């Protein structure tokens, strides 16, 4: 096979699976890469092509459309995705034009439905290479890429200016955040990272994760800095029984175990729990794992603390998962809020009197965060909200709601150097059950 063609095929296949078949990117990419034996470097580049194309799809399509005189027919195979991936390489990734264009044409010729458009693809992409950069620079990628319903909701919730900042930050490739078991300064120095005020360490250009110092030793695990805060809101968990509901992939379980808690990790996916256990083994940490739906999980005894990282729309993680822009729908907010309500009810039953329940989501939608907790407290007079007790260096006042809950935004950490900015959008609240 022509050098570089397999890499592009993986990217295009993943794009097609997300945009046409409406499947999550991680699953799509894993499936595409599994059918081809790519070296790690080529696999990483294929992923970069696909995620870049998703982040800038609106503007890339706008540039491409200016060079296509007539509407294309519906049945044209993977032509759209081939052009999208090639345009991303030409306008954003610095791929040499001859490579991006010739490989895209080869992809068209290998596609039964798209092969009759091979000459068209060649002509269009040459024009993109020659004059597309200026057109691309003048476009509003936020308006062209973000669904209107998301921007409208964020504008209503956070204001027009903040909504634009959140959206722009959500389209930036995120840095790599790590949670370390101990000595963050030492590991930051060894890895070439910086220590964030939250205690996480952040790497701008990390390369392969499994080749970084400390991976084999189990010194750290990958976890966004915002995602690491909810566990800290539980306070000192040494010696306490803690259940982590909807636990996979296990970053918070690892935090709890490293902090000395007696942890039970509950998830309905046996496969995801198996991977969680493998990660804990690498970290030399232990936790009890239970395959169960958190809605129906009923152990014999209650717990000192409960952590519920509930399923959500994940709109706070678009910078890591740009496929959310194309897979989520407005009606998903209400559907997931209903699920979260039921999960909170179940979580409350698992907690001992005097215990702490931390509820969190990686959603920017208030129905899944602030309003969800307010409604829960209205229903449960035996629970009270406990404002964040962490210091202001760890959790600045700007990250705290008027009620004292956590609300991080993708636009936070904007004062850090380029390549180190941003944060996943998270909501978290600490709720105490009366004795």
Task: Kindly report the pTM of this predicted structure.
Answer: 0.94
Predicted pLDDT of residue 75: 77
Residue in the block written with tokens 């998962």: 321
Give residue 76's pLDDT: 86
Can you tell me the distance from the alpha carbon of 333 to that of 56, in angstroms, rounded to the nearest whole number?
24
Is there a catalytic annotation at residue 362? yes
DSSP single-letter state for residue 389? -
Please provide residue 306's backbone torsions phi and psi, each rounded to the nearest 5 degrees. -130, 135
Which residues fall within 8 angstroms of residue 347, CB to CB, at 6 or more apart? Answer: 245, 294, 306, 308, 357, 359
CA distances from 414 to 56, 80, 192, 247 (A): 21, 35, 20, 30
pLDDT value at position 182?
93
Q: Identify the segments of the chain with pLDDT beneath 70.
A: 1-2
Residues of the chain with CATH 1.10.940.10: 5-143
Q: Are 42 and 50 in contact (CB under 8 A)?
A: no
SS3 string, 288-323, reads EEEECCCCCCCCCCCEEEEEEECCCCCHHHCCCCCC
| pLDDT reported for residue 1 | 54
Q: With contact defined as beta carbons under 8 Å apart, do 25 and 321 qualify? A: yes
Query: What pLDDT was estimated at residue 38?
Result: 87
CATH of 5-143, one of 3.30.70.980, 3.40.50.970, 2.130.10.10, 1.10.940.10: 1.10.940.10
- The DSSP letter of residue 210 is G
Map tokens 């900015």 to a residue: 421
- In the chain, which residues fall in CATH 3.40.50.150? 225-433
Tell me how far apart the alpha carbons of residues 222 and 250 are, in angstroms, rounded to a whole number.
Answer: 10
**Catalytic residue from among 108, 312, 360, 362:** 362
CATH architecture of 225-433: 3-Layer(aba) Sandwich (3.40)
What pLDDT shows up at residue 36? 85
Q: Which contacts (CB < 8 Å, 24+ apart) does range 68-71 have?
A: 68/120, 68/124
Largest Cα–Cα distance of the chain, in whole Å? 74
* Whole-number pLDDT of residue 17: 97
């Amino acid at each position: 096979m022509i050098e570089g063609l397999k890499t592009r095929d993986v990217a295009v296949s993943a794009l097609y699976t997300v945009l046409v078949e409406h499947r999550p990117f991680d699953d799509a990419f894993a499936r595409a890469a599994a059918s081809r034996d790519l070296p790690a470097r080529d696999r990483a580049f294929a992923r970069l092509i696909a995620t870049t194309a998703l982040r800038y799809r609106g503007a890339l399509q706008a540039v491409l459309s200016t060079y296509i005189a007539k509407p294309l027919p519906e049945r044209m195979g993977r032509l759209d995705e081939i052009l999208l991936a090639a345009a991303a390489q030409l306008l954003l990734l610095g791929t040499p034009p001859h490579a991006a264009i010739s490989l895209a044409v080869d992809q068209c010729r290998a596609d039964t439905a798209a092969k009759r458009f091979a000459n068209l693809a060649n002509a269009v992409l040459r024009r993109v290479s020659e004059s597309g950069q200026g057109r691309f620079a003048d476009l509003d990628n936020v308006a062209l890429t973000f669904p209107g319903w998301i921007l409208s909701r964020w504008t209503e919730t956070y204001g027009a200016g903040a909504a634009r900042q959140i959206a722009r930050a959500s389209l930036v490739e995120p840095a790599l955040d790590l949670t370390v078991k101990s000595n963050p300064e030492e590991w930051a120095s060894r890895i070439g990272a910086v220590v964030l005020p939250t205690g996480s360490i952040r790497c701008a250009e990390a390369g392969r994760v499994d080749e970084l110092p400390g991976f084999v030793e189990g010194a750290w695990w990958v976890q966004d800095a915002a995602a690491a805060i909810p566990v800290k809101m539980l306070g000192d968990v040494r010696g306490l029984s803690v259940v982590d509901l909807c636990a996979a992939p296990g970053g918070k379980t690892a935090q709890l175990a490293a902090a000395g808690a007696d942890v039970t990790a509950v998830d309905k996916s046996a496969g995801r729990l198996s991977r969680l256990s493998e990660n804990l083994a690498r970290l030399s940490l232990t936790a009890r794992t239970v395959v169960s739906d958190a809605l129906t999980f009923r152990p014999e005894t209650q717990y000192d603390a409960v952590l519920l990282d509930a399923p959500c729309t994940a709109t706070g993680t678009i910078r890591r998962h740009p496929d959310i822009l194309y897979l989520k729908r407005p009606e998903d907010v209400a559907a997931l809020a209903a699920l979260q309500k039921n999960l909170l009810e179940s979580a409350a039953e698992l907690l001992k009197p005097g215990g702490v329940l931390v509820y969190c989501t990686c959603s920017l939608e208030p129905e899944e965060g602030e309003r969800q907790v307010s409604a829960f407290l209205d229903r449960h007079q035996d629970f009270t909200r406990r404002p964040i007790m962490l210091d202001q260096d760890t959790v600045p006042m700007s990250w705290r709601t008027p009620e004292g809950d956590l609300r991080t935004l993708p636009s936070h950490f904007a004062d850090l150097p380029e390549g180190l900015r941003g944060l996943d959008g998270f909501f978290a609240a600490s709720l105490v059950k009366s004795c």
